[in-house]
Amino acid sequence: MRNCVICIILSTLIGAAVYATAAYAAGKTHEQRLDELQIHVDFFKKLMGVDEITTIIHFQRMPTVSNPAACILSHRVIIIDPLVWDHYDKYEQENIVLHELGHCELYYAHSGGIMYESVLPSHVYRRHRDQLLQMYKQGLPLIGGGL
Ligand SMILES: [Zn+2]
Q: Label the pairing between strands 77-80 and 56-59.
A: parallel
Q: For residue range 36-93, list pLDDT tens digits in order.
A: 999 999 999 999 999 999 999 999 998 876 789 999 999 999 999 998 999 999 999 9
* DSSP 8-state class, residue 65: T
| Per-residue pLDDT tens over the stretch 122-147 | 999 999 999 999 999 999 999 987 44
Structural domains in the chain, sorted by start: 6-138 (3.30.2010.10)
State in Å: Cα 1 to ligand 1 middle.
32
Q: To 10 degrees, the CA torsion angle through 110, 134, 35, 52?
A: -80
Query: Ligand 1: distance of its center to the CA of 110 in Å?
Result: 6
Strand partners, 72: 77
The alpha carbon of 95 and the centre of ligand 1 are apart by a number of angstroms equal to 11
Distance from Cα 103 to the centre of ligand 1, integer Å: 7
Ligand 1 centroid distance, CA of 35 (Å) = 23
Burial class (CB in 10 A: 0-12, 13-18, 19+), 87: exposed
- Centre of ligand 1 to C-alpha 115, Å, is 6
